[in-house]
A and B are shown apart, each in its own frame.
Chain A
C-alpha cells in the first residue's frame, strides 16, 4: 500500500534559519505530490504541489520543494524562516485514483516552531 513518511516530527528553529523538511513516499507509479500547511487554529491549506514538469516547485510564502523520483522524495525547503511560519506541515501523495476522484495519503506531519 502507498505510504508517506515524514522524518521530522518536531522542528525548532530561530528566525532566519534555513528549513528542510523531509518527505518520502512509497509508490512505484506516477504520483502527484503535495505539501499542506496548518497554522494554529486554522484549516489545512495547500502550500505547493507537483504534478509534472520541473521537479523544483515553488509555493506560497517563499517555500519550495524538490521532487527526486529516484529517491521517492519531495522535501520542503525555505531559505529563511519567519515566526509566522510556525505551523504543522503535512506531505501528501495522490497515487490511487478511481475514474473520477483522487485519494490523498498523508504523512503524520511535522510541527515547526520558529522563535524570534
Chain B
C-alpha cells in the first residue's frame, strides 16, 4: 500500500499558468520534502517542512512555493511555470535526523 501518494501522476500546464502538485502521507512523519528531478539528473531538494517549519533551499527559485496545511498533506505551487520547470517532482517524508526518506511515485510536469 502506498504510503506517500502524489497526485496527479502527470500534469500538463501552460507557460505562465499556476499549477499545484499534491502530496499526502500515511506515515505520520514530521518531515516532508519536495525534490525536482530533470531528465538524466539527480533529484534536487527544493525545500522541506519540519512540522510547520518551512526550510527553503538557497537556490530554489521564488517561483516555487509550498504549503503544509496539516501533517498529512503538502503542496507544491509553481506560480508561473516556465519551460525550464518541466520535470519530475518527487515528494518524500521522514521522521527527521538519521531517518530514511520514503518517496512518492512523483508527478511529471509538462509545460506547453
> What residues make up the interface of A, taking CB atoms closer than 8 Å to B?
4, 9, 32, 34, 36, 41-46, 49, 51, 90, 94, 97-109
Contacts and interface: CB of A to CB of B under 8 A. Distances in A.
Interface string B76-112: 0000000000000010101011111111111000000
A34 B92 CA distance: 15
Contact of B98 (A41, A44, A90, A102): A102
Interface of B: 4, 30-31, 40-45, 48, 50, 55, 90, 92, 94, 96-106
B42 A4 contact: yes
16 contacts: A43-B105, A44-B103, A45-B103, A51-B98, A90-B42, A90-B43, A98-B50, A100-B50, A101-B55, A102-B96, A102-B97, A103-B45, A104-B45, A106-B42, A108-B42, A109-B42
Given A90-B42, A94-B98, 20 more contacts: A34-B100, A36-B103, A41-B105, A42-B105, A43-B4, A43-B103, A44-B90, A44-B92, A44-B103, A51-B98, A97-B97, A98-B55, A101-B97, A102-B94, A102-B99, A103-B45, A106-B42, A106-B43, A106-B44, A108-B40
